[in-house]
Amino acid sequence: MKLQFEALDPLFFRDGRPFSMGEESYAEGIFPPLPSTARGALRSLWMAQQLGQPDADPKQLADDSKILELSYFGLGIAGKPIFPAPLDLFFEDKNQAVLPMELMDKKGLVSSSPDDISCLFWANANGKTASVAGHFLDAASMQQYVSGSKKEGLNAIRLADFAHKEHKIGIGRDNDLHLTKEGSLFRLIANRLEDSQGSQLHLLAEVQGFGKFPLAAVVPLGGERRSVAVKAAAFELPATPKLQSKYLKICLLTPGLFDAWYPAHLSKQYPGLTLRAASISRSIAVGGWDVAKKEPKRMRRAAPAGSVYLYEAADQKQAQEIADQLHGNSIYLSTDDLDGFGLCLIAQPFDNQIIR
């Protein structure tokens, strides 16, 4: 079932940095939120509906809700999905065109990349260049990127044009004395999800595991229990590409939780698959709150959405089989894949990204 979250308030989502009122007065956040945040809200919504049934057992409902799988999570504008800009793209300074990086043999170069990675992505341009981090591609541009058919004409959307930061000041309250707690003044940054023309940014999700799901509901999401409306949605992901060679790119739509900085387990899962190059950014911290244990979850490092991994398969047939299996799915083989981490698209490399 495909769902859309419409923000009714400015939204705030905590990052991995510590924040305790009285010790720190400034709380930074992240946007978009982690997919686990959305899955937790949807599990709570389903349990709240089921609690109205006779003989409902809260503990049993909590166990039953664990089967809910977040098979897609991302952003959308006017109900149409937008996707994190793959980090093997860059802005050219002259006309701010979005172009793909080229592949360079790193032989003879000094690089911090592992020795078994033979190539590097680099921005081949005469003038200054800029990263596409913080930008998204619309559905048409992402389909064009996935197919690898055309380098020009990609449309990058700046997230900051739709997620406007608003500084909020709050205080801690003593519920017994009905007074302000001393030393508990704090400030946080929330996100108002609309542009100057009134077009609203939405959160989009697809869930599996339940036959029916409550719709037209208002649920709290993120820090300070800000409200969002959950509605039915209709959207499609880019089609699986028809690969023309034994090379393929894995592009993360959501943060990837791996044992390393890349999905090393794929080479074991698919013998003959070899990582040749990668374009990634700084890792992000993934944590959360364990409701059952009433304690913070273990903090882990994740590859950010938009990370790109160029792989070489044994042959074109194996590459296409991998694309058919992984496109639109999670590449994190753990219980965390139910949370929506490691969702990816498979892309055909552009002509200048294939090893000759």
Global pTM?
0.90
**What pLDDT sits at residue 336?**
56
User: Taking the domains of the chain in order of start, what are their residue ranges?
Assistant: 2-78+163-232, 82-158+240-353
Q: What is the mean pLDDT of residues 279-308?
A: 86
| Per-residue confidence band for 334, with pLDDT thresholds at 50, 70 and 90 | low
Q: In the predicted model, is pLDDT for residue 203 greater than 90?
A: yes
The backbone region for 228, taken as left when phi is positive above 0, alpha when psi lies in -120 to 50, beta otherwise, is beta
Q: In the predicted model, is pLDDT for residue 335 greater than 60?
A: no
**What pLDDT sits at residue 329?**
93
| Per-residue confidence band for 319, with pLDDT thresholds at 50, 70 and 90 | very high
Task: Give residue-wise pLDDT tens across range 88-128.
Answer: 999 987 567 888 999 888 877 777 777 778 888 888 877 78
| Per-residue confidence band for 51, with pLDDT thresholds at 50, 70 and 90 | confident
List own/partner pairs for 88-92 with CB under 8 A and 24 or more apart.
88/121, 88/249, 88/279, 88/308, 88/310, 88/353, 89/132, 89/145, 89/154, 89/156, 90/123, 90/125, 90/129, 90/130, 90/131, 90/132, 91/129, 91/130, 91/131, 91/132, 91/156, 92/125, 92/127, 92/129
3 state SS of 140: helix
3 state SS of 130: strand
| Per-residue confidence band for 197, with pLDDT thresholds at 50, 70 and 90 | low
Q: What is the mean pLDDT of residues 288-313?
A: 87
Sign of CA dihedral 39, 45, 48, 49: negative
Level-2 CATH architecture, domain 82-158+240-353:
Sandwich (2.60)
Q: What is the mean pLDDT of residues 147-174?
A: 84
Q: What is the mean pLDDT of residues 207-223?
A: 78
3 state SS of 102: strand
Q: What is the mean pLDDT of residues 342-354?
A: 92
**What pLDDT sits at residue 58?**
76
What span, in angstroms and rounded, lies between the C-alpha atoms of 100 and 102?
A: 7
| Segment among 132-141, 210-219, 245-254, 321-330 with least mean pLDDT | 210-219
| Per-residue confidence band for 239, with pLDDT thresholds at 50, 70 and 90 | very high
What is the pLDDT of the chain when averaged over all its residues? 85
Who contacts 152 (Cβ-Cβ below 8 Å, separation ≥6)? 97, 99
Q: Give percent above pLDDT 90 in the chain.
A: 41
**What pLDDT sits at residue 29?**
81
| Per-residue confidence band for 23, with pLDDT thresholds at 50, 70 and 90 | low
Who contacts 122 (Cβ-Cβ below 8 Å, separation ≥6)? 101, 102, 104
Phi, psi of 251 (to 5 degrees): -115, 120
Give the DSSP letter of residue 120.
E
239 or 198, higher pLDDT: 239
| Per-residue confidence band for 237, with pLDDT thresholds at 50, 70 and 90 | very high
Highest average pLDDT, of 7-21, 26-40, 189-203, comes from 26-40
**What pLDDT sits at residue 323?**
96
248 or 55, higher pLDDT: 248
Who contacts 323 (Cβ-Cβ below 8 Å, separation ≥6)? 240, 241, 243, 248, 346
**What pLDDT sits at residue 33?**
93
| Segment among 17-21, 158-162, 214-218, 351-355 with least mean pLDDT | 17-21
Task: Give residue-wise pLDDT tens across range 256-276.
Answer: 998 888 999 999 999 999 999
**What pLDDT sits at residue 211?**
62
**What pLDDT sits at residue 75?**
96
